A and B are shown apart, each in its own frame.
Chain A
Amino acid sequence: MKKAFFIITLITIISGLYSYSILEKETGNIIGNLDPYSAAMGSAVGAGGFRLFDSMVNPANLTGLKNGFGFQGTGSFLMDSDNRSLPMYNSFDAYCGDAVYASNVNTFADFAGGIYYKRVISDFELAASLQYRPQVSFKADYFEQVRNNRNSDDNGYPPKIAQNSIESKGGINAIAFQTAFKYMNIGSLGLEVAQLSGDSEMERSVIWTPEAQDMMNDTLNDTINTLEREFSAIQFIVGANIHFSKRFDLGLSFTPKTEFDITGNKDGVDVNNVVFVYTKFDSTGTPLDSLTFAQYILPMNARIGFSFKPRNIMQTVMNCDIEYIKWSDTNPLYDDAINYYIGVEHMINNKIPFRFGFNYTTSYGLHEDSGFVFANEITTPTFTTGTGFTFLDKFTFDISLEYSNRQYEALDLFMDSYYDHEDLWENYYYLNLQDRGWENPDTVKETFINLKSAISFKW
């Protein structure tokens, strides 16, 4: 048994993970859940969660934990497959499909841990916890090769002339203190105060190859752009659970807008002096409002959810959440959005939990084309499943798998005109190395597979 415990612990720690989309390299990926129970339930734990990290959705969930001291260690492994393609046209000028020109598969890992204590005093149940967890991730990687058109007629590999890459690291972590109390069987209130701090480093580079330098007689200069930022803020979350009956619970949580203090530099220039995007223009095209790299805001969100425990030959729980995210807090170009979460747990043979769920979330991509900045809405449907078991009486192991697939349009990350040097290309006359703007965007297909595992222990 000790061996089994050791192996499971190892799996849990090693598989701690997050990996993210290149889409969120600057704005960061807000981590919605950290617990495999919650993940398997489609992140629908607004009104009921039975693991420590379910309280990051609604701090009042803390009172759903068992009495005494407890610990949870969690990690995940997320694989992001990013296929970026060019539009293809037939001889009638009709768009007829996409040709994938860069395919990236990245994996990232992370972990979180927390402890809690809960006890009953008269009609009250009091609980408190301390957690260390990732809150926003800036991790993202992207690589593409630029090859010229030599040798392609001979079925040979054309030489690589440049290596393009974007590497983004870092994240914002939270040290969160939570407290919650429950009064009799009526309901509970919870509060989280979290110190959010972290940093991010992004490097965007175009590195010419020796072959390219040879062709251009060493006249090419590599390009490296950097953005380094440090973040700090205090975040509050309040939540409530109302226990209507043994069958029905209602949960509410509210997270106000969180504005960060930021220091850092972009290409060596203080971030306060670098305009990030223009968001509004007057009739003459003059920017009326702008954001800078020194502004970073997590949007206000409010969530309402219910948990329903019907009579079923398999013990069953169904959770549903609706979340309102005020994306316009972070950028006036964004519309506010509503996310949907649903999850079900069936106890097969009343012993083995089979959890499955679904969620539908909305986020935004920001694009700049010829000085015109706009946002496009991106929806991500996610299918989730998972299970878990208890061992050695005090330990609980949970595991979950989330699968998301989304498709959206985006601008070329490395515009073509940058490579417009006649000596680099064969039959240069026939080439049209112009930037593809929003009239001819890339199609990006992304698949996320996220495996989460956790061990909970209660003394």
Chain B
Amino acid sequence: MKKLLMVSLLIMLIISIAEAKIDLNTATLLELKTQLPITDKQANDIYDYRFYNSFFQSIYQLREIESIDQETLNSLKPLVSVSHYDEKDESAQRRDDIYYLIERLGSNEGLQEGMSDIWEDYLISPRNINKLAFSDILNLPNTSPIDVAAILNRVAVGDSISSYRDLRKSPGISYYGAKNLQNYVYYKEQPEVRDIYFDYQMKYNDSPYGDSEKEMYLESMIRFDYPDSDAPKTPGIKRQSYWGYFNMESDRATMMNKLRMRYKNQFKAGFIYETPKGSTPIFDSNSKTLFDEGKFYVGYENNINFLGKNFLKVYAGNFRATFGEGLVMENTDSYSPRKTGYGFNKRITGIIGDISRTQEYALRGIALDWKRNNMNAVVFLSSDKKDAVVYDSNENGELDDDDYILGYINMTNRFSNDELEESEAFFNTEYDDNVNQVKIAPRLDALQEDIIGGHFEYTPFIGTHIGFTGYEAVYDREFVVPEEDELKEILIYHSDYFDKWKITDNEITSMYSTKTTEYGDKDFRRVVGFDWRTVLNNTSIQGEYAELEIDGRLGKIGDDPSALLISSYTQFDNLYLITIYRDYDLDFDNPYHRSFSESERFDDTVFDKLTYGLNNTLLNDMYNNSAQPSAEKGIYFETRYQFHQMLTLNKAYLDIWERKSDARRGVRTEVKLEFKPIHQLRFRIRHKHQVKRYDDEMERGMSQADETELKFITYLSNYDKLQLGYIYARVLQPPYLSILSNPSEPGAADMAQAQTLTTGDMIYLDYTHNFNKNLKVIGAFSMWYANGASFWDFEDIELDFDHSDRGYKMWFNIHSRIANNVYLSIKYKYKQFLTRELEFRDYNDIPEEGEYYFQRVERKENIVRLQLDWKF
């Protein structure tokens, strides 16, 4: 007993002595000054260090303070203590832990149109894996239907997943599936996170127009060789192009401001206002502009107990609607080739709030998503004005409200209608006061589009569903696509160029009309389809079929333009295999169609190749910003296989397809192999091979492109990284096909006389240096000799397209974490290259001795990007 008493007293003594020590993490400035044998300056420095640098993790951290020498530290040791203390709340701590994932999502943002926001929310506020529905899990990045079925099959039998280790044990789940999922879900106990979140993001981007956009704006609207004109033939005048007229030389910067708010994962709201090049900055906007040009949403998502368990989502404002494989409805403006729907190429199905940069295909209205047991029903209503191409169908010399619409257009620079009309009047006057030569033009908000749509899905058992999707868009104006001859008259400014109209331009003639001689007059477009999925062991088979209803018989399958996609996904531990078959009719013109394809709609049409011959060069945007896939039929295989810990086939795919418009066949394959002798070293080799050819007697042309890349990556200490790479490209192609007389009539095509071989190469180097965990600088240099070939360069936050004759670029990016919740990055890039513009543009003028030499244009580009993120 005495011993116990002694021990207790000793403990109390120790505690009292310990309590007498000054805790460096909680002491007031006065305590530091009065209770420690240090100067006022030293006390202030300790206090400031704690306030402005960090809480103390150890007494020895005092030595990081300049005024504290070893002697002072020795004298302080017995007098001070350090308690565990951190101001970070659980959310900040969680953000710290998963920062690398958020960064990775952010770097893919450009391709994902707002999806990274959704994923980031679930990273910060994970959801209970045992309560999620099939689509909830499948909507997370890198999870496969088989992984999801494996999880749900466990939960369905009353089992619950209690940890990541437990998750890994789910029969059928892949290592990568579980690993990718682990940060988006919780198991037993919800991590302590805050309820209310605000995210503010500002992006400033000062970069030049892309080559195709610039060509569109630079092309003169008054052609020098306009044959019918008695108007004076003027030499080149910059003002006679959109570029010159709108003084676009300094129209470079875009600014985006985005604010998101949410309460748990239940109430969500967001607002975005993007100021594209040359448009009204946010501070100059009025409330109407903010409402019209900005995007916003408010949404509610929650489980509701009403006659059983229900899950309800309601969104008002702008929303994204995506179903099945994107054949009927996926409303984004961005086109993404080979969007498989797996890995990072996911589409988030269902309804989500939309504050992405999508403008043309944004839906605005109200959407309701209801899940109950094995059923899911979605209804959405949207009413919005859309930009469209209007042509002078009533031939009154004006583009007015009575004229027909040719189609939707996603404009690079959204000039106001007043500006467009003034510019057209200027061009008309410049050409001839009495002639309205501009017969077709884009117009902002030219079309009222009212959509009612829905999706119904029934799941008979886990992993299997069948769904029906449909929408009807009602318009206040007629879409009328004239017959080919009339269309050529409208689109092409002079008959001399009519023979540039090729068989591929069938994609234009097959656009949707609301008024046809065969089916009469209606004011809507109606697309319906069904989709399905079933998971069998380690294979998931899914697909979607859709029809664009044109003949008025909605219930009959097979009588309308249609699109079909069937895919399968097979998964093993170290291997997956994707197979996708698609077949899209040429006249399946659904503006909200975003499924898998190799190229976008209007590729190789006059909208792509005949900028200089179009009646209005702005029509180039029909191709430049086309979001729909082109009509294709083909089969695609993709796999990943880890042979060994040191050797992985990162990705390999093969696509064999036929373009419907001209029966051109293509084969494309790409293989990426990684060798990792030790963790810090990676050697990667990538090879791409692509052939496109016409399989007819004329052998009009075949193009073949090969590209090989060797890359060496070394991971240094402190997460620093050095990367070296070399790319070699080889392109074999016919002379520029569109310059040949190549009409759609069989046998009328010119024969390509020879193939040209182009080779180019590129070398690059980049280095990432982390000064500490809050400051990172990346610097890169690359140089190429392309000779007309081109290279895609994956920079840290963007994808750059490098081409031209030869050139080089260098860039650096400073990533600074200002505070726990404030992030800033500044990127500067300098790029210099010789273009091949004149060589391409002077093709049909034979240079005479002494008359010409082919001047190459040297271009220098400066690009500045700034991004500020504030999460509070």
- Report which A residues bind B (CB closer than 8 A): 87-98, 153, 246, 308-316, 318, 338, 342, 344, 346, 348, 350-351, 354, 356, 358, 360, 376-379, 381, 383, 403, 405-409, 432, 438-441, 443, 445
- B204, B822, B837, B868: the one within 8 Å of A96 (CB): B837
In the complex, B814 has a CB within 8 A of chain A: yes
Report the Cα distance A153→B66, complex, angstroms.
71
- B204, B224, B283, B771: the one within 8 Å of A348 (CB): B771
Given contacts A92-B224, A344-B818, A439-B239, 18 further A-B contacts (CB under 8 A): A91-B841, A91-B845, A92-B223, A93-B220, A93-B222, A93-B236, A95-B238, A95-B244, A96-B857, A97-B835, A310-B52, A313-B773, A342-B866, A358-B826, A379-B253, A383-B864, A403-B828, A438-B239
Given the known interface contacts A356-B826, A377-B250, the answer about A432 and B235 at a Cβ–Cβ threshold of 8 Å is yes
Q: Is the CB of A381 within 8 A of B253?
A: yes
Report the Cα distance A443→B252, complex, angstroms.
14
- A309, A315, A440, A443: the one within 8 Å of B249 (CB): A443
Q: Mark B604-619, 1 if CB is under 8 A from A, else 0.
A: 0000000010000000
Residue of A nearest to B771 (CB): A348
24 inter-chain pairs at a CB distance below 8 angstroms, sorted by A residue, are: A88-B855, A90-B837, A90-B841, A93-B220, A93-B224, A95-B243, A97-B835, A310-B822, A312-B774, A313-B53, A313-B773, A314-B774, A315-B52, A316-B52, A318-B818, A338-B281, A350-B53, A350-B66, A356-B814, A376-B247, A379-B252, A432-B235, A440-B238, A445-B860
Given the known interface contacts A94-B218, A312-B52, A312-B818, the answer about A440 and B237 at a Cβ–Cβ threshold of 8 Å is yes
Q: Is the CB of A318 within 8 A of B822?
A: yes
Shortest C-beta distance, B403 to chain A (Å), equals 28
Report the Cα distance A432→B220, complex, angstroms.
20
B202-253: which have CB < 8 Å to A? 204, 206, 218-220, 222-225, 235-241, 243-244, 247, 249-250, 252-253
Residue of A nearest to B856 (CB): A97
Q: Which residues of A contact B250 (CB under 8 A)?
A: 376-379, 406-409
Is chain A's interface secondary structure helix, strand, loop, or mixed overall? strand
Residue of A nearest to B237 (CB): A439
Report the Cα distance A405→B824, complex, angstroms.
21
Given the known interface contacts A350-B64, A360-B204, A383-B826, the answer about A312 and B53 at a Cβ–Cβ threshold of 8 Å is yes
Q: Is the CB of A95 within 8 A of B218?
A: yes
Q: Which residues of B contact A313 (CB under 8 A)?
A: 53-54, 772-774
B794-821: which have CB < 8 Å to A? 814, 816-820
Nearest 3 CB-CB pairs, A to B? A89-B236, A310-B819, A93-B224
- A93, A316, A342, A346: the one within 8 Å of B223 (CB): A93
In the complex, B838 has a CB within 8 A of chain A: yes
Q: Is the CB of B253 within 8 A of A92?
A: no
Shortest C-beta distance, A4 to chain B (Å), equals 21
In the complex, B862 has a CB within 8 A of chain A: yes
Q: Is the CB of A314 within 8 A of B818?
A: no
Given the known interface contacts A360-B204, A383-B826, the answer about A405 and B862 at a Cβ–Cβ threshold of 8 Å is yes
Q: Is the CB of B52 within 8 A of A309?
A: yes
Q: Which residues of A contact B862 (CB under 8 A)?
A: 405
Q: Is the CB of A90 within 8 A of B238?
A: no
In the complex, B775 has a CB within 8 A of chain A: yes
Q: Which residues of A contact B486 (CB under 8 A)?
A: none
Q: Is the CB of A153 within 8 A of B841?
A: no
Report the Cα distance A213→B423, complex, angstroms.
45
Q: Which residues of A contact B253 (CB under 8 A)?
A: 360, 379, 381
Q: Which residues of B contact A311 (CB under 8 A)?
A: 51-54, 87, 819-820
Residue of A nearest to B845 (CB): A91
Residue of B nearest to A98 (CB): B857
Q: Is the CB of A94 within 8 A of B239?
A: no
Report the Cα distance A440→B66, complex, angstroms.
62
Residue of B nearest to A100 (CB): B858
Shortest C-beta distance, B365 to chain A (Å), equals 34
Q: Which residues of A contact B860 (CB under 8 A)?
A: 445
Q: Which residues of A contact B194 (CB under 8 A)?
A: none
Report the Cα distance A403→B283, complex, angstroms.
26
- B220, B857, B866: the one within 8 Å of A88 (CB): B857
Q: Is the CB of A92 within 8 A of B249?
A: no
In the complex, B850 has a CB within 8 A of chain A: yes
Shortest C-beta distance, A215 to chain B (Å), equals 25
Report the Cα distance A57→B809, complex, angstroms.
36
Q: Is the CB of B219 within 8 A of A94?
A: yes
Report the Cα distance A358→B866, complex, angstroms.
8
Report the Cα distance A95→B241, complex, angstroms.
8
